[in-house]
């Protein structure tokens, strides 16, 4: 029996929701734009004046995770207080997602990055093998991770092993 996703992240864009959906679905495998509903033509008054044809609601999936998006103007901006965790299978996957998404080097820390739309992502491997216990190795790996921008698996392993 398939599990129904009951909580869906909803992303607010100033006016680039469709561009962002196309961008994100081009990066992640098994991703697609499901549907787009647009603002009607002829909005001349109110906060949505000039939003003719922009995204009222867009539904898209990234690796099976459903998201919604809208163009809502500059009222709300993304915040680093919420991020999207992408657990990667290996360094090649980390490198691929990092290179595609990272747009603000000043915001990079401990596997976190900020994309060109201002949303924060965590691009990391399963960290439990290095940080999942109270050993000296885990403490060394934690210190190594705190000094990284992009996570480098080999460096985490070296730190864990005390090398």
The answer to whether the CB of 55 falls within 8 A of the CB of 81 is: no
| Cα 156 to Cα 134: distance, rounded to the nearest angstrom | 15
What tens-digit pLDDT sequence spans the chain (163 residues)?
667 789 999 999 999 999 999 999 999 999 999 999 999 999 899 888 889 999 999 999 999 999 999 999 999 999 989 999 999 999 999 999 999 999 999 999 999 999 999 999 999 999 998 988 889 999 999 999 999 999 999 999 999 999 9
pLDDT of residue 100: 98
Q: What structural domains and CATH numbers belong to the chain?
A: 10-71 (3.30.720.100), 83-161 (3.10.180.10)
pLDDT of residue 2: 64
Looking only at the bridges linking them, the beta strands covering 10-13 and 65-71 are parallel
Distances, alpha carbon 160 to alpha carbons 72, 76, 92, 123, in Å: 46, 41, 20, 20
pTM score: 0.91
């Amino acid at each position: 029996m398939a599990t129904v996703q009951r909580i869906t992240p909803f992303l607010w864009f100033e006016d680039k929701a469709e561009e962002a959906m196309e961008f994100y679905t081009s990066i992640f495998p098994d991703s697609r734009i499901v549907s787009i509903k647009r603002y009607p033509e002829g909005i001349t008054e109110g906060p949505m004046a000039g939003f003719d044809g922009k995204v009222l609601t867009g539904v898209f999936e990234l690796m099976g995770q459903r998201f919604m998006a809208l163009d809502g103007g500059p009222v709300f901006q993304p915040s680093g207080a919420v991020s999207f965790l992408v657990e990667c299978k290996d360094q090649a996957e980390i490198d691929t997602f990092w290179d595609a998404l990272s747009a603000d080097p000043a915001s990079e820390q401990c596997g976190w990055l900020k994309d060109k739309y201002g949303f924060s992502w965590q691009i990391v491997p399963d960290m439990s093998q290095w940080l999942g216990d109270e050993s000296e190795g885990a403490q060394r790996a934690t210190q190594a991770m705190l000094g990284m921008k992009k996570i480098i698996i080999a460096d985490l392993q070296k730190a864990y092993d005390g090398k």
